Amino acid sequence: MLWDDFINSYWRDWRTGDRSKDRDRLEEPAWLGQWMQEHALEAPLPPDPTTLAQLKQLRGCLWAAVQQLVQGAVIEQALIERLNLYMSKGPAIRQIAGSGDAGRRITLVPLYTGWEQIMSEIAASFAGVLLEKELSRIRICENPDCLWVYYDDTRNRSKRYCDDKMCGNLIKVRRFRARKKAEEHDKNGL
């Protein structure tokens, strides 16, 4: 989804927790270009310093909202107003897209390209989740060195890590080694 990919643009070293290796991908034109292409977004690269600051501000707003939602807080009116402000800067027209009766759908086509439009699309993506999805499924990876945001779409709502093969496996190995070390410690009477 657009909104969580955007929040996760702040990359943490999920293996070691070495904060010196953290990267803000919003500052990487190559990553931004690929991300925009994946989401069919257009804007000049790199963003100017003012726009970059606005993008980081939006990301911070969404990250704070996710943290509150994960803790069970209700959606605050201030967040709704802020999302509405972002969305107001990205006008779009409705258009029928696709072919064949089953494949046709109404889509929104942006009237403009650029960073304001992109921020509008991000805000709309997040607003859509707030209004149309189960908020209890919004998660933050339980790997304390990762903290990626994701939407848990598993049937039993039990997903604890952004990726079970990466973060999930890493944490399981760490727990196993800690148990073995504690057993060895107890065995040697230390």
If we measure between CA atoms, which residue out of 28, 27, 30, 36 comes closest to residue 5?
36
Q: Give the H/E segment covering residue 39.
A: none
pLDDT, one tens digit per residue, over 107-165 is 888 898 999 999 999 999 999 999 999 999 999 999 888 999 999 999 988 888 888 78
Give the residue-averaged pLDDT of 13-34: 88
Question: Please, is 89 exposed, middle or buried when counting C-beta atoms within 10 Å of its C-beta (0-12, 13-18, 19+)?
Answer: middle
Question: Where on the phi/psi map is residue 147: left (φ > 0), alpha (ψ -120 to 50), or beta?
Answer: left
pLDDT at 162: 86
**Of 6-15, 29-38, 166-175, where does the model show the most confidence?**
29-38
| Residue 190 clears pLDDT 70, i.e. is over it | no
Q: How far apart are CA 123 and CA 129, in angstroms?
A: 10
Cβ pair 116, 89 in contact under 8 A: yes
Long-range contacts of 75-84 (CB under 8 A, 24+ apart): 75/130, 75/135, 82/123, 83/123, 83/124, 83/126, 83/127, 83/130
Q: What is the pLDDT of residues 55-111, one digit of tens each?
A: 999 999 999 999 999 999 999 999 999 999 999 999 889 899 888 878 888 888 889
Take residue 55 and report the two structure tokens written for it. 């993008």
Percent of the chain exceeding pLDDT 90 equals: 60
